[in-house]
Amino acid sequence: MKVIKLISKNVFRHKLRSILTIFGIAVAVMAFGLLRTVVTAWNAGVDASSSSRLISRHAVSFIFPLPFSYRDQIQKVPGVTGVSFANWFGGKYKEDKPENFFARFAVDAETFMELYPEYLIPSDQLDRFKKEPNSCIIGKKIADQHNLKIGDIMTFTGDIYPGTWDFTIAGIYTGKDKYIDETQLFFPWSYLDERVKSIPGYGSGLVGWYIMQIDNPKSASEVSQVIDGMYLNSTAKTKTETEKAFQQSFVSLSGAILVSLQLISYVIIGIILLVLGNTMIMSARERIREYAVLKTLGFTGTTIAILIIGESLTISIAGGVLGLLLTFPLANGFGNAFPTIFPVFQVLPSTIFMMVGFSLLVGLAASIFPSWKSSRISIVEGLRQIG
């Protein structure tokens, strides 16, 4: 009990220094948490991928289409229980600004939502989507951001597919949990296919990629080999992989940026260590004579070390908790500011665990040298010191 009382008095002996140190640690922890959240948000699509879905795209490049005729052939492959397809549309909505960008896909209206049960939409809205050729389904975040509702018309200026495209909102989907992307637009591929027939130089009957539902995730490799083998000698060879690998291929394009962010986040931990270590060394040096007096009163070197370690841990934990509490509103504001760039921006439990863990480790590491030196100093030598 006496030791705890002494630790609390030591922490607040130099109030300004302790407060500034706690605040510095909090800012560093908050920055670490935000950078880690950016990295995990960038990989959200990979983490949310289903292990029972496969993606088949053109073997040469994602930008090359595949024939619509592949659908019925793939459906007959053993192990495949469902087939759908999608096509990247692009286009510009409103002004050409980053906040107006979101993913837009032409999909098979009859089957696409069946393969993505994590997208929740009322049955009447889905039925309307299937019946109306120029209808669309949008995510809730898109609807909230642009103040859209069912029945509204969204107008796009085509870039990949020229012309003006009007879509009537037939439904608004939500994610089954907070980790599902709600910033996408889907419209019937049949509408796109019909329109491109009248555009010179554009071929009809082409899709971007196929999505397959398989009955056993363990057979993903075998099913992929069978599908790719079917088109080995065709003009449109396929590359079939798991949905996770497919998503990872896009994330890898920004691999250097993500690695840099991760390195910076760990450098921040080093900065925390330097800040707290400097504070603890200063505090221990100022109290050498006091520690010598405590030894004359019967306190052991171990007790002296506990006082220093306890003070360091108290400051680091206080800074870590403050930084953790500040991270949530900051991350929420950051996610709201860039809803389409980071569709899923949540502070994950693993990030919280790392923030708390690093705060404890830094507190211990910063106290090692001053506690070791102070606990070993002799009474005579300590009394001679001038703090």
342-374 pLDDT tens trace: 777 788 888 889 888 888 888 888 888 887 877
6 pLDDT higher than 80: no
Residue 76 in contact with residue 235, Cβ under 8 Å?
no
Q: 41-50, 186-195, 261-270: which range is least confident on average?
A: 41-50
17 and 70 assigned to the same domain: no
Alpha helices in 287-300 (DSSP H): 288-296
17 and 159 assigned to the same domain: no
Q: Which comes out higher in pLDDT, residue 315 or 288? A: 315
> In the prediction, which pLDDT does 366 show?
82
Q: Is residue 246 part of a domain?
A: no
182 and 288 assigned to the same domain: no
Q: 75-79, 111-115, 294-298: which range is least confident on average?
A: 294-298
CA-nearest of 151, 140, 362 to 272 is 362
198 and 73 assigned to the same domain: yes
Please give the residue range of the domain that contains residue 288. 2-44+254-384
Query: What pLDDT digit, counting tens, does each position of 233-273 carry?
Result: 888 999 999 888 887 766 655 556 667 777 887 788 788 77
Which residues have CB under 8 Å from 198's CB, separation 6+? none
Domain count, the chain: 2
SS3 call for 231? coil
C-alpha to C-alpha distance for 58 and 62, rounded to whole angstroms: 6
14 and 64 assigned to the same domain: no
Q: Is residue 71 part of a domain?
A: yes
> In the prediction, which pLDDT does 76 show?
93
Q: Kindly state the average pLDDT of the residues 218-236.
A: 91
Final residue before a domain boundary, out of 206, 236, 266: 236
87 and 227 assigned to the same domain: yes
Q: Which comes out higher in pLDDT, residue 243 or 47? A: 243
Residue 164 in contact with residue 207, Cβ under 8 Å?
no
Q: Which pLDDT band, with edges at 50, 70 and 90, does 385 fall under?
A: low
Residue 98 in contact with residue 80, Cβ under 8 Å?
no
386 pLDDT higher than 70: no
Q: Kindly state the average pLDDT of the residues 280-295.
A: 72
317 and 263 assigned to the same domain: yes
Residue 375 in contact with residue 301, Cβ under 8 Å?
yes
